Structure 1
Amino acid sequence: MPTSIQAAAALVLSLLPGALYIWSVERMAGRWGVALSDRLFRFVGTSAVFHAVAAPATYLLWRSQWLSVRNGDPVTWWLWLAPLAYVLLSLAAGTAIGWGSRNGRGWARAFTGPDPAPRAWDYLFQGGRDGWIRLRLKSGSWIGGAFATTESGLKSYTAGYPEPQDVFLATAADIDPETGEFLFDEDGAPRLRTGGVLVRWEEVEYLEFIDA
């Protein structure tokens, strides 16, 4: 194999843990760093941490198995577990930290920093909290509903960075279109409509989120 191809393969393998880790984090928490330079630094930095942690095991494998690999001799069966661990540990770490960041776990900030969300929009809706939303549109009308999951399993949803901001309310509520006040039934509960409502942020002048 030419030296240039070997060097390229070695570079890809060295960056693979960081790439798998970042992919797993973003799969859970959202793409909060999409610039090429930012992503490259994360790949390199995370890969360096993984390789530093795995250095003792890497040395033991090299010392005990490298001659057999180079000479084409049979190797111990557990050596085949090394590539699997190389991939799975990166995926597991990224998934755990992405889940912790998405759900606002304090320990996750040790890995992501104190304020990982790039926009207030992403910070507000991370963690899947339930609540009520009132929106005043630029047309002057008010609409709103429940940011929650319906009994049928339909979930409210917001677009995450870097996609254009929009919000889907799985259950719309009756609101006075002029004052923005929720309308209630005889039991004092908000009057709900059948169906949800999808709103683009560019149509919104004001948003209020009320914790359930």
Structure 2
Amino acid sequence: MIKTRILSINDPQAIPASKRIIQQGGLIAFPTDTIYGVACDVFNPQAIEAIYAAKGRPVEKALPVLIGDYHQLAELILNPDRRLERITAAFWPGPLTLVLRKNHKIPHQLSADVTIGVRMPNLDFTLTLLRETGPLATTSANRFRGPNPVDANDVIAQLGGRIDLLIDGGVTPGQTASTVADLTGRDIRILRPGPISLADLQSVAIDE
């Protein structure tokens, strides 16, 4: 067990401390526009393994990735196209996770498949953090199948002593169901329904 440091979201050290821990291969937890997430450097295989261990999460369940800007997306995927550009321009940041073909930089510990799920969250602090740290492998800050962590107490109850730093941002909205859409084929496929419908995606995906 390790000592989990807690900083307020308003602490000037919140982002610098988070960045330092990520660079050192550690784990941080922070609020998002849904629930609290636990995260690590997306390119660090040992850190990714540490998330699975901290959560007790089966390794066959791939970890999603959060990004802070569109440039970071290019670091992760193969062959971005106009359809992807139109969809992300319309719905990011927001409750939409896109399944895309990963590039060779992504460790197999993150996803043994040829794809990854990527989202840009709609919360100013989280976006600022991600722009400082780079893309983060991020999943819910709870034990596997544990209750959704909507505040810092929920995170400490489940992951206290298993993560290096917790950023306390109060209570999050608690919503978990972003739409998950697969863009790897010719047709868009909805893998998990959510606030953004297939019709919404198709309406902006068509090349006029």
Q: Same fold (TM over 0.5)?
A: no
Q: TM-score, normalised by structure 2?
A: 0.26
* Higher relative strand content: 2
- Rg comparison, structure with higher value: 1
The structure where helix makes up a greater share of residues is 1
Q: Which has the higher contact order (CA 8 A, sep 6+)?
A: 2
TM-score calculated relative to the size of structure 1: 0.26
